[in-house]
Amino acid sequence: MQQKIIILDFGSQTTQLIGRRVRELDTFCEILPYNKFPQNDDSVIGVILSGSPYSVHDPEAFRVELSQFVGKVPVLGICYGAQYISNTLGGKVEKADSREYGRAHLAMVDSNNPLFRGFTPNSQVWMSHGDTITDIPAGFQCIASTNDVKYAAYAGSGIWAVQFHPEVFHTVQGTQLLKNFVVDICGSRQQWSAASFVDTTVAELKKQLGDDRVILGLSGGVDSSVAAVLLNRAIGNNLTCIFVDHGMLRKNEFRDVMHDYECLGLNVIGVDASEKFFGDLAGVTDPEQKRKIIGRDFVEVFNAEAKKIQGAKWLAQGTIYPDRIESLNITGKVIKSHHNVGGLPEEMQLSLCEPLKWLFKDEVRRVGRQLGMPEHLITRHPFPGPGLAVRILGDITRERVEILQNADDIYIRSLRDYKVKLSGEEARKVLAAGVPAEMTEGEIEVSLYDQVWQAGAVLLATVRSVGVMGDERTYEHPVALRAVTSTDAMTADWAHLPYQFLAKVSNDIINKVKGVNRVCYDISSKPPSTIEWE
């Protein structure tokens, strides 16, 4: 039986991050709304209660019946989870004199307690709470304090609780704490790995699909590509993939990705439907209208090709775990629709197959490596379904797409070619994300491309700016460059790319791309901005 850690979500922005950290410990976990604890599930070996935007004293604060799991399996409360446990079991939680936010250091740690085994003195942690625990329940012990927070951690009766966030990078030994809980306290056998996932999933797919034919829509991205290779290993030529070119992919992307898929031995049908898409988009400038037209046309083209495949019974999708988590809030109501979570068009009459539905993005990449896929496919940045159509401000023409493709190609190739050396926490973040790199004398060397979550160029087609090239006045379009760092795309910060790199890219684009005479760099974070411009 596969062991499982249950993470009960009380609405924290970092709940997914808790899940990713547990998975990094080769332990399966499932994130569930706070009120959906699974009953009679013998595979559960521990429970983690997340943080929350609420105070435990708010009338609308989320509450859970602790007797469902306390005393049955080990429990770890984080931030709100720690305060809720204390408040519920007879301790005291009061509003702090000032919000306790940011870096702090553990002035006292009970190193004999299994939760803090291996901790160093004065270890840095990350606080983020407005309330604070001023008294703990009877029979519990304080096991860590900072100079400002007496009960930074407490334990008793099979419960461990911390008021800081061990899941974030700023808590330097947070992974050690989670390992102590998951492995030492809960007894995880650490059997969840890319290799075990591939073996188990291939066996399950063979059993689920039998000799049925399966259709999968490929996008060129890592999720659908890994799903295709996994299915191909399970059912071989019974899988047919469809890759639709709407004409707004990156430069040479359709050709290059088709070549990659052929090298992987996939049965792929490539469809050039660019004439239809460009025709239907002519004169359209509204971003939402662009997306709707492209989405509608894609379904029409895909369905037309799918109908040609005789005997197909399944539609496979590259849905991953964050897609499903983000589509439900902690009350179980839909708050954000994902293209892979909306079900199937009724006219297709196919069953749904989602082989990656339990994986986080970094796990998908690890599975891709386990399957022997080329690194450039595995590390591809996310790319919007409508493609460059939502990176052109204004109406879409072939000429404008070509301008943006050329500028974007220079930018992306430059990001791949530019190498930087990292050490300390920066190196740790990159390695934790699964980027292949070797540590030499405490340093790693990686490309800028592998340091950022997503990058691309944007053509401001509705704007023209004056420039001078040689002795001639120009009146052409600006291009904006975008690069962000993120862990899940829910929030993102602009990437601090080196000035030397930006200067060279700007110069190359202006000199080599006809129609561009100005390059800007977008330094907006999400929120308040979005990653894409449209």
Residues with active-site annotation: 79, 165, 167
Distance between CA atoms of 423 and 415, rounded to whole angstroms? 19
Six-digit token pair at 299?
A: 């379904």
Quick one: which of 278, 276, 272, 260 has its CA closest to 224?
Answer: 260
- Classified as helix, coil or strand, 15 is helix
Q: 61-64 long-range CB contacts below 8 Å, 24 or more apart?
A: 62/10, 62/11, 62/34, 62/35, 62/330, 63/34, 63/88, 64/8, 64/34, 64/35, 64/37
Distance between CA atoms of 84 and 161, rounded to whole angstroms? 10
Distance between CA atoms of 443 and 234, rounded to whole angstroms? 40
Quick one: which of 46, 161, 56, 148 has its CA closest to 103?
Answer: 148
Distance between CA atoms of 371 and 107, rounded to whole angstroms? 46
The answer to whether the beta carbons of residues 315 and 348 sit under 8 Å apart is yes
- Classified as helix, coil or strand, 407 is helix
The answer to whether the beta carbons of residues 346 and 303 sit under 8 Å apart is no
DSSP structure class, residue 440: B
* DSSP assignments along 310-327, one per residue: TTEEEEE----HHHHHHT
The answer to whether the beta carbons of residues 439 and 427 sit under 8 Å apart is yes
| Block residue for tokens 């902690």 | 330
* DSSP assignments along 454-518, one per residue: EEEEEE-TT--EEEEETTEEEEEEEEEEEEEE-SSSSSBEE----HHHHHHHHHHHHHHSTTEEE
- Classified as helix, coil or strand, 162 is strand
The answer to whether the beta carbons of residues 223 and 323 sit under 8 Å apart is no
Q: Is residue 41 classed exposed, middle or buried when 0-12, 13-18 and 19+ CB atoms within 10 A define those classes?
A: exposed
Distance between CA atoms of 459 and 509, rounded to whole angstroms? 12
Distance between CA atoms of 306 and 349, rounded to whole angstroms? 11
DSSP structure class, residue 409: H
